Amino acid sequence: MILRVVNHKFHYEMENLCRVFYPYESIRVLHGDEEGEDSLCVVTSLKETDGVYNISVAFNGEKKSCTETDYDDCEREMAVLLYGILCDVTGYVPQWGILTGVRPSKLMNTLISQMSEENAVSYFNEKLLVSPQKTELALSVAKAEEKIMSLSDEKSFSLYVSIPFCPTRCNYCSFVSHSIAQAKKLLPEYVEKLCEEIRVTAEIAKSLGLRLESVYWGGGTPTTLSAEQLKKICREIEENFDLSFCREYTIEAGRADTVTPEKLDVIKKHAVTRISVNPQTFNDDVLVSIGRKHTVDDVINVYTTAREKGFDNINMDLIAGLTDDSYESFCCSVDKAVELSPENITLHTLALKRSSAIVTGGIDVESGEIANRMLEYASERFYSNGYIPYYMYRQSRSLGNLENVGWCKPGYECLYNIFMMEECHTILGVGAGAVIKLKEPFGRNIERIFNYKYPYEYISRFDTILERKAKIGEFYADLK
């Protein structure tokens, strides 16, 4: 597909909107008279005459146009025209209208602060063309997030621990994670370097007087590590960070084939308050299709064992739109999750990431319309069983431009998810692929420090990673 851009700077938003309707198409952006041909060609144009902006969009023999006197509203007006044409041509009406951003709830909170709740809701419906159902979802999440964000202040920070190893790679995954069969030999040295980085990071946080609010281990699959390795890292965190103010401590135990009673014992003994046991689906055939090596029974056994070990805050992940998953099968997965009654259920929409096997291999996936029906069913079941939506974000190339939502029983919101996504305070990341996000207190400025993505790079260039840590102190010094 070609997106032709004539005399405007709105190509990023127009490209994202085209991708909502044509997720499998490679979109080439051409400016002005650049040459290029394709059977699918969208032409977007902006022309100014005597202070009036003429906006036009043409595609597939259809053309829409309008005029606008305020340049700041031209991008939105162009998106509305493009959205209308694409809806007409494809017959598909995305529920989020022209809104393509990652954090709809953050926008909702911003608009409420600027124009009141009633006007913010009207703006979503009338100006952004968001459906009433999605607008209500954004409003509900915005209110829940506001309560959690208020817990954070200028001294707050969270710790993210990256364990980028998995037993196998799922067909939808684009994370920098490595199968344990290929990377097992790296694990001992990786753990040693990680522990050293934890010590250095803790010393910096202590010197700056920062207060640790939450800890989150992600990846990858942290429970790919042995029980002894888990214990070593847990001890390193406890011995170097002050956990007395820590509100939440999460470790993802996402893959049932990596979890043992011994590992659960280690996690339980080391200040961890929350774990994730992630089935993604309760259909064995779908598990095979996506590349997982465990069964539904394995997931249920791990969940049951975790309960027996005393874990009283457990998250489960489900994904709408997985390979070979039908609407009926997905509904059964939702029903099973509700029956098990974890404190937290995170419902994702499948995202078509370029480097994932589901895209590079040309595997068929469910459409956006079916995915939306899946989300509607889940929403109804969750609400009726006492869960509330507290956290939301969207990924690029997700089916139907749909959302990922964290649902929880009241009082069991995952604080780290909100602190991280809403950029409430500094995140100090350790491990391969981790990102340090330095947040200016009471301001919007955020600076990032990136660790090397791959474990072998992390190990071989570890001295450089430690050198970059100096930027943390420099950031806070500049604030004074």
User: Are residue 271 and residue 335 in the same domain, yes or no?
Assistant: yes
pLDDT at 180 over 90: no
User: Are residue 47 and residue 161 in the same domain, yes or no?
Assistant: no
Total domains present in the chain: 3
Euclidean distance between CA atoms 59 and 78, whole angstroms: 13
SS (H, E, C) 189-252: HHHHHHHHHHHHHHHHHHHCCCEEEEEEEEECCHHHCCHHHHHHHHHHHHHHCCCCCCCEEEEE
Is 172 or 275 the better-scoring residue by pLDDT? 275
Answer whether residue 200 is part of any domain: yes
pLDDT at 264 over 60: yes
Cβ neighbours of residue 75 under 8 Å, at least 6 residues apart? 8, 10, 13
pLDDT tens string 9-47: 999 999 999 988 988 788 999 998 788 788 899 999 999
User: Are residue 71 and residue 117 in the same domain, yes or no?
Assistant: no
Domain boundary among 114, 142, 170: 142
> What percentage of the chain reaches a pLDDT higher than 90?
79
- Give the pLDDT band (50/70/90) at residue 168: confident
**Tell me, what's the pLDDT at 218?**
94
* DSSP structural state of residue 125: I
Domain boundary among 142, 157, 172: 142
Q: Which two tokens stand for residue 317?
A: 């992940």
Q: Which two tokens stand for residue 441?
A: 């207190």
User: Are residue 325 and residue 420 in the same domain, yes or no?
Assistant: yes
Residue 28 CA neighbour count, 13 Å, CB half: 11
Is 400 or 83 the better-scoring residue by pLDDT? 83
**Tell me, what's the pLDDT at 409?**
98
Phi and psi (nearest 5°) for 378? -60, -45
Q: What is the mean pLDDT of residues 89-100?
A: 93
Q: Which two tokens stand for residue 7?
A: 């005399």
User: Are residue 309 and residue 332 in the same domain, yes or no?
Assistant: yes
User: Are residue 133 and residue 243 in the same domain, yes or no?
Assistant: no
In this structure, are residues 93 and 130 in contact, taking their beta carbons and an 8 Å threshold? Answer: no
Tell me the CATH number at 20: 3.30.160
User: Are residue 138 and residue 153 in the same domain, yes or no?
Assistant: no
Answer whether residue 479 is part of any domain: no
Segment 280-285 long-range contacts (CB within 8 Å, at least 24 positions apart) = 280/170, 280/317, 280/318, 280/319, 280/322, 281/318, 281/319, 281/322, 281/325, 281/329, 281/330, 281/333, 282/332, 282/333, 282/336, 282/337, 283/325, 283/329, 283/332, 283/333, 285/324
pLDDT at 440 over 70: yes
User: Are residue 57 and residue 125 in the same domain, yes or no?
Assistant: no
Q: Which two tokens stand for residue 158?
A: 């969270």
Q: Which two tokens stand for residue 15?
A: 């490209």
pLDDT at 366 over 80: no
Euclidean distance between CA atoms 169 and 385, whole angstroms: 33
**Tell me, what's the pLDDT at 24?**
77
Tell me the CATH number at 209: 3.80.30.20
- Give the pLDDT band (50/70/90) at residue 465: very high
H or E element at residue 455? helix 455-460
pLDDT at 182 over 70: no
Q: Which two tokens stand for residue 145?
A: 């997030």
Answer whether residue 473 is part of any domain: no
Average pLDDT along the chain: 92
**Tell me, what's the pLDDT at 171?**
61
User: Are residue 120 and residue 201 in the same domain, yes or no?
Assistant: no
pLDDT tens string 144-166: 999 899 999 999 999 999 999 98
> What percentage of the chain reaches a pLDDT higher than 70?
94
**Tell me, what's the pLDDT at 219?**
85
User: Are residue 80 and residue 170 in the same domain, yes or no?
Assistant: no
Answer whether residue 331 is part of any domain: yes
Answer whether residue 480 is part of any domain: no
Q: Which two tokens stand for residue 303?
A: 């969940």
Is 350 or 387 the better-scoring residue by pLDDT? 387
In this structure, are residues 366 and 325 in contact, taking their beta carbons and an 8 Å threshold? Answer: yes
The one-letter amino acid code at 338 reads V
Answer whether residue 81 is part of any domain: yes
83-373-142-479 Cα dihedral, nearest 10 degrees: -70
Q: Which two tokens stand for residue 78?
A: 């162009």
User: Are residue 363 and residue 451 in the same domain, yes or no?
Assistant: yes
- pTM comes to 0.91
Cβ neighbours of residue 210 under 8 Å, at least 6 residues apart? 155, 156, 157, 426
Euclidean distance between CA atoms 237 and 202, whole angstroms: 8
Answer whether residue 265 is part of any domain: yes
pLDDT tens string 322-352: 988 999 999 999 999 999 999 999 999 998 7
Q: What is the mean pLDDT of residues 369-375?
A: 92
pLDDT at 176 over 60: no
Number of H helices, E strands in the chain: 18, 18
Euclidean distance between CA atoms 440 and 353, whole angstroms: 31
- Give the pLDDT band (50/70/90) at residue 356: low
How many Cβ atoms are within 10 Å of 11's Cβ, its own excluded? 16
Is 102 or 14 the better-scoring residue by pLDDT? 14
Q: Which two tokens stand for residue 401?
A: 């431009």
- Tokens 């090397």 locate to 452
In this structure, are residues 1 and 27 in contact, taking their beta carbons and an 8 Å threshold? Answer: yes
Euclidean distance between CA atoms 231 and 227, whole angstroms: 6
Answer whether residue 478 is part of any domain: no
User: Are residue 174 and residue 219 in the same domain, yes or no?
Assistant: yes
pLDDT tens string 300-329: 999 999 999 999 999 999 999 998 899 999
Euclidean distance between CA atoms 320 and 375, whole angstroms: 7
The residue segments making up the domain with residue 132 are: 104-142
